[in-house]
Amino acid sequence: MPIKVGQDTARTRRSLSVNGKSIAYYSIPAATEAGLGDFSKLPAALKVVLENMLRFEDDGFSVSVDDIKAFSEWAEKGGRNPREIAYRPARVLMQDFTGVPAVVDLAAMRDGIKALGGDAQKINPLNPVDLVIDHSVMIDEFGNPRAFQMNVDREYERNMERYQFLKWGQGAFNNFRVVPPGTGICHQVNLEYLAQTIWSDEDQNGETVAYPDTLVGTDSHTTMVNGAAVLGWGVGGIEAEAAMLGQPISMLIPEVVGFELTGKMIEGATGTDLVLKVVEMLRAKGVVGKFVEFYGDGLDTLPLADRATIANMAPEYGATCGFFPIDAETIRYLRNTGRDEDRLALVEAYAKENGLWRDETYAPIYTDTLSLDMGTIVPAISGPKRPQDYTPLDQAARAFMGVVSDYRGIDIDNGAADMAAEGPTPVLERDPRKSVKVKGEDYEIRDGSVVIASITSCTNTSNPYVMIGAGLVARKAREKGLNRKPWVKTSLAPGSQVVSHYLEAAGLQEDLDAIGFNLVGYGCTTCIGNSGPIQKELSEAIAEADLVAASVLSGNRNFEGRISPDVRANYLASPPLVVAYALAGDMNVDLVNDPLGQDQDGNDVFMKDIWPTQKEIADLVEQTVTREAFQSKYADVFKGDEKWQSVETTDAETYDWPPTSTYIQNPPYFKDMDPEPGTISNIEGAKVLLILGDMVTTDHISPAGSFASKSPAGQYLLDRQVQPREFNSYGSRRGNHEIMMRGTFANIRIRNEMLEGVEGGYTKGPDGEQASVYDASMAYQEQGTPLVVFGGEQYGAGSSRDWAAKGTALLGVKAVIAESFERIHRSNLVGMGVIPFEFTGGDTRKSLNLTGDETVSISGLDTIKPLQEVPCTITYGDGTEKTIQLKCRIDTAPEIEYIEHGGVLHYVLRNLAKAS
């Protein structure tokens, strides 16, 4: 489909000669020549956004001359000029958990536009959309050669309804491609194959135009591709749907924090260790809503695989994205992963011509900077429940003892919990740990027993250095007769088939198999909570003794209740360390000083004895990670295996919603929708649904993992004769709003401060008695009572899942009032017609002594302006009143329109209906 890139007579349009071909592009130096400003000192990440403005200037896409000049003013003002702009990414990336509800919405919009008298074909992606099915495979089988095939078979059994629906969407919608199950993780497929760094396409006149590859994705880790200088970040499914339907993303010109990397990594340290330190530093710095760009001579020795790992975890350090400019390493990676030579020539020529190339002269202006000497990085883990909880490996056992003592409410008498202390963990006068015998087994488990060790997630399986490293640790351990402890559920779930190719080519898969790290699938698995059940007797023992069991995974998320319902302490680690912890089987083992086990002769084996050197790893990477492997594995990426090819579906223009489906249902958003929007109303007499603390993540709000029979979602399925074995997960059922409403605020670890000592999705109903959040909200809706939610700092942190906002809206919540919001969730709330507010003047839920018995009224909304402060009157249970000021986090003028329409999709649907 020809791209719409602006007029071919635009003043900044120039030609570039690449391998004898003339290619048009929009020139940043030409903008300076045209008197629009000096852009030479802009960071490369911001130049990508500027090029977007130049390309759509004066072409009916809401870009003005002042928008372009604002980027020059940004540099003049020292890296700050928060002007609102309309940004248009080139493409959209989805995964199936967030992609299914997006396609459900598109299908519902086709029904909705027909009801309004419009043309169903108006509902089509205008920008290319790739959906990669990667979130559905669960680890039911592990530790044996059959694991992969059995898990794939079970995946299809569970998800056939969803796959039929996605295959219908692939045929029904233009510009929409599906990468079938068993191929890889969307971000790794994007990095290794889909992304081009510099894109090219034909414009309306048939002329080839080059422009930076940009995207938004319905998964927060879309940022991974910034490691290859592709500007992308996660948005909610709602915002992504609007983008693919031609709506610009309204955003403020961001601040850009420069992160200088110097020195080079020392022996024994990995890219994972580096990123965990980066996460800690940037969380402490505070970069929410900002771009982070990495620069410095340290990049000269930093492989793109390590860069991608750092970029992947931008959501964990809170930034919109973590960007690496184009340089020689970018070209090397693109070549090695199979991109054609013409593309490589275009990337280099374009980057140098348009000021996007990093070399020794690269010295842009940044809003702020910080620096890290990579030579100081040591092996480390992060946990037990936040990615930024960085702990050097030599302090990990001591730190875990502190976790247990805190959980038990026991003070350790001699300072064992002091992580700053040096030396081995001392003998405890009051040991807080418990242990219990496992029924039918000849071993005990205790607080700290590692029951899950998983090499998982695109964050690290995209990096051949740490994957080869893990294989070598397995090989050396196997040679010495070591094996995983019997209580550890081990798994290997690479992000692409290329990983299996090079592990097999190096002979390392056999070694990984020998200690239990058999292939279980190509997908996100443990990192998103699809870890599958642990042994029944282990689960019972953990529950019986209320143990603090642990997991270790090479992922990016370790929030409470995410990895497994049996595990309280979750740790992020490099793949080699995951293997080491599987061998040790216990967080109480000091991997630096304690033996992992004994060899065949009874001699102690320490981690240093099985840890590979950087040269060993680099030599094997050089030998086995080849251009031919990438080209071979991605040759038929959209074709799929026989299972995918045999999935049957229809070719109808609109979807025939199966009434009995428990996976796919027509959502109520557009039912009986008026052709005209309404107005924003003040909130009167709202009751409090929940009072939540700090760092309430989207996992707390809308969990992705399994759910119990006694939960509202479980009861819904039991009522429809679905047995618990077939429940699957919340994430897999995001195409059914009935399930997802019942799962909203239902995480087993969420704590509602309205209820003392209670975990899980509970609140007070209208009668003041404890009830599930779903049942209480339905009772309030029957009474016509609006609801509000109170929160603390960083409300909505974590993944980009749109259901955290959709579920909130469907529960009748009109406003969320918090101390601060994470970027994506704030946008998602607005996109669903829920208004976010922030406390001002030092007020918090605690300073206001909120109990949940209050009534809340917010005025001034009928004349609201972006970021306006409005009065909120809180009436306490005893009748006293207090009026405070809230900052309305409707940030831009278009967002006001979205709220007026009831959400961004309603806004788009009405406009498309009128246009047709």
- pLDDT (tens digit per residue) in 697-718: 999 999 988 899 999 999 999 9
Residue 51 resides in a domain: yes
Both 910 and 762 in a single domain?
yes
The verdict on residue 229 lying in a domain is no
* CB proximity list for 565: less than 8 A, separation 6 or greater: 705, 706, 748
Residue span of the structural domain in which 756 resides: 683-915
Backbone angles phi, psi at 651, to 5 degrees: -115, 30
State yes or no: pLDDT of 2 exceeds 80.
no
- Interval 236-252: pLDDT, tens: 788 888 889 888 888 88
Identify whether residues 619 and 733 lie together within a single domain: no
For 802, the token pair is 């749109």
Q: State the average pLDDT over residues 848-857.
A: 98
**Residue 228 in contact with residue 61, Cβ under 8 Å?**
no
Tokens 């919603």 -> residue: 657
Query: CA–CA separation, 174 vs 138, rounded Å?
Result: 31
Residue type, 682: N
CA distances to 162, 322, 658, 665, 732 from 662, rounded to whole Å, are 10, 39, 9, 7, 11
Tokens 């595990």, residue located = 567
Q: How far apart are CA 573 and CA 689, in angstroms?
A: 37
Question: Is pLDDT of 199 > 90?
Answer: yes
- The answer to whether 47 and 28 have CB atoms below 8 angstroms apart is yes
Question: Whose CA is closest to 152, among 198, 183, 179, 110?
Answer: 183
Beta strands in 741-786 (DSSP E): 762-764, 770-772
Q: Bridge partners of 201?
A: 209
Torsion angle of alpha carbons 465, 469, 471, 473, nearest 10°?
180
DSSP designation for 413: T
Q: What's the start-to-end Cα distance of the chain, in Å?
A: 20
**Overall domain count for the chain:** 3
Cα 269 to its chain centre, rounded Å, is 25
Per-residue pLDDT reduced to its tens digit, 581-621: 999 999 999 999 999 999 999 999 999 999 999 999 999 99
Side-chain-facing half-sphere of 908: CA atoms under 13 Å: 28
CA distance 317 to 223: 12
Q: Are residues 721 and 608 in the same domain?
A: no
State the pLDDT at residue 429.
57
Question: Is 641 within a domain?
Answer: no
pLDDT at 410: 82
Rounded CA-CA distance 740/165 in Å is 18
Do 697 and 610 have their domain in common?
A: no
- CA dihedral of residues 617, 313, 296, 87 (deg, nearest 10): 130
Question: Which residue, among 403, 399, 423, 427, has the nearest Cα to 414 in the 3D structure?
Answer: 427
36-72 burial by CB neighbour count: b if 16+ within 10 A, else e?
bbebebbbbbbbbbbbbbbbbbeeebebeeebbbbbb
User: Is there a domain that residue 411 lies in?
Assistant: yes
Residue 420: the pLDDT is 41
Q: At what angle do helices 464-479 and 497-505 cross, to 10 degrees?
A: 40
Could you give the CA distance from residue 427 to residue 431 in angstroms, rounded to a whole number? 8
Residues 6+ apart with CB under 8 A from 111: 654, 655, 666, 670
- CA separation for the pair 189, 185 (Å, rounded): 6
- Residues 6 or more apart whose Cβ sits within 8 Å of residue 505: 623, 624, 629
Residue 455 resides in a domain:
yes
pLDDT tens profile 304-350: 999 999 999 999 999 999 999 999 999 999 999 999 999 999 999 99
How many Cβ atoms are within 10 Å of 439's Cβ, its own excluded? 11
pLDDT tens digits for 101-134? 889 999 999 999 999 999 999 999 989 999 999 9
CA-nearest of 250, 230, 231 to 239 is 250
Domain boundary, last residue among 607, 625, 643: 625
CA dist 682 and 884 (Å) reads: 15
Rounded to 5°, angle at Cα 897 from 840 and 908: 135
Percent of the chain with pLDDT over 90: 84
The packing angle between helices 328-336 and 341-353, to 10°, is: 160
Instruction: Report whether pLDDT(354) > 80.
Output: yes
Please check whether residue 426 lies inside any domain of the structure.
yes
In this structure, is the dihedral angle defined by the CA atoms of residues 357, 363, 367 and 369, taken in order, positive or negative? positive
What is d(CA 604, CA 316) in angstroms, rounded to the nearest whole number? 38
Instruction: Choose the final residue of a domain: 87, 121, 137.
Output: 87
Domain co-membership, 465 together with 609 = yes
Q: Determine the pLDDT at residue 430.
A: 67
The answer to whether residues 833 and 718 belong to one domain is yes
Residues in CB range of 35: below 8 A, 6 or more apart: none
- What SS3 state is found at 690? strand
- For residue 843, pLDDT beyond 50: yes
The answer to whether 516 touches 177, Cβ cutoff 8 Å, is no
CB atoms within 10 A of CB 76: 14
- Which residues are paired to 214 by β-bridges? 231
d(CA 211, CA 224): 20
**pLDDT by residue (tens digit) across 372-415?**
999 999 999 999 999 999 999 999 999 999 999 999 888 764 44
Within 196-268, where are the H helices? 237-244
CA distance linking residue 55 with residue 65, whole number of Å: 12
pLDDT tens per residue across span 633-669: 999 999 988 999 999 998 899 999 999 999 999 999 9
pLDDT at residue 239, as a whole number: 84
pLDDT bucket at 836, cuts 50 / 70 / 90: very high
Q: Are residues 697 and 591 in the same domain?
A: no
Tell me the pLDDT band of 418, cut-offs 50, 70 and 90. very low
| Torsion sign (Cα): 176, 180, 185, 188 | negative
Q: Radius of gyration of the chain from Cα atoms?
A: 27
**Strands 291-295 vs 256-262: parallel, antiparallel or unpaired:** parallel
Separation CA 26–CA 11 (nearest Å): 9
Instruction: Give the tokens for residue 493.
Output: 């779930």
CA–CA gap between residue 912 and residue 591 (Å, rounded):
60
CA–CA separation, 345 vs 343, rounded Å?
Answer: 5
Domain containing residue 397: CATH number? 3.30.499.10
Give the sign of the dihedral formed by CA 86, CA 91, CA 97, CA 100: positive
Q: pLDDT-based confidence at 58, cuts 50/70/90?
A: low
Tens digit of pLDDT for each residue in 164-183?
A: 999 999 999 999 999 999 99
* HEC secondary structure over 624-643: HCCHHHHHHHCCCCCCCCHH
Residues 79-95: what's their mean pLDDT? Answer: 93
What is the arithmetic mean of pLDDT over 551-571?
91
d(CA 417, CA 88): 50
* Residue 129, amino acid: V
> 504 Cβ partners below 8 Å, 6+ apart?
none
Q: pLDDT tens digits, residue range 788-822? A: 999 999 999 877 788 999 999 999 999 999 999 98
List of residues 6+ apart from 457 with CB closer than 8 A: 185, 493, 495, 524, 525, 526, 527, 553, 554, 555, 556
Reading the block at residue 818, the tokens are 């918090």
Residue 242 lies in a domain: no
Residue 360 counted as domain residue = no
User: d(Cα 805, Cα 809) in Å, to the nearest integer?
Assistant: 6
Instruction: Clarify whether residues 387 and 480 are in a common domain.
Output: yes
Flag whether pLDDT at 10 surpasses 80: no
Same domain, 609 and 716: no
Q: What is the pLDDT of residue 445?
A: 97
- What order of strands is seen across the sheet that includes strand 291-295? 321-323, 291-295, 256-262, 368-373
Shared domain for 617 and 709, answered yes or no, is no
Q: Where are the beta strands (DSSP E) in 19-107?
A: 21-26, 84-87, 91-95
Bridge-based pairing of strands 176-179 and 597-598 is unpaired
- Considering the domain architecture, whether residues 621 and 689 belong to the same structural domain is answered as no
Interatomic CA distance for residues 575 and 469, integer angstroms: 8
Exposure string for 335-349, b = 16+ CB within 10 A, e = fewer: ebbbbeeebbebbbb
- Any idea what the Cα angle at residue 508 is, between residues 507 and 511, rounded to 5°? 110
CA distances from 384 to 391, 396, 401, 545 (A): 10, 10, 11, 19
- pLDDT value at position 655? 95
Final residue of a structural domain among 68, 87, 106: 87
Two tokens at 909?
Answer: 């649907």
Max CA distance (Å), the chain? 81
Report d(CA 202, CA 195) in Å as an integer: 18
Mean pLDDT of the chain: 93
Do 611 and 705 fall within a single domain? no
Of all helices (H) and strands (E), which one includes residue 857? strand 855-858
Residue pointed to by tokens 């239990």: 516
Task: Write down the pLDDT at residue 693.
Answer: 97
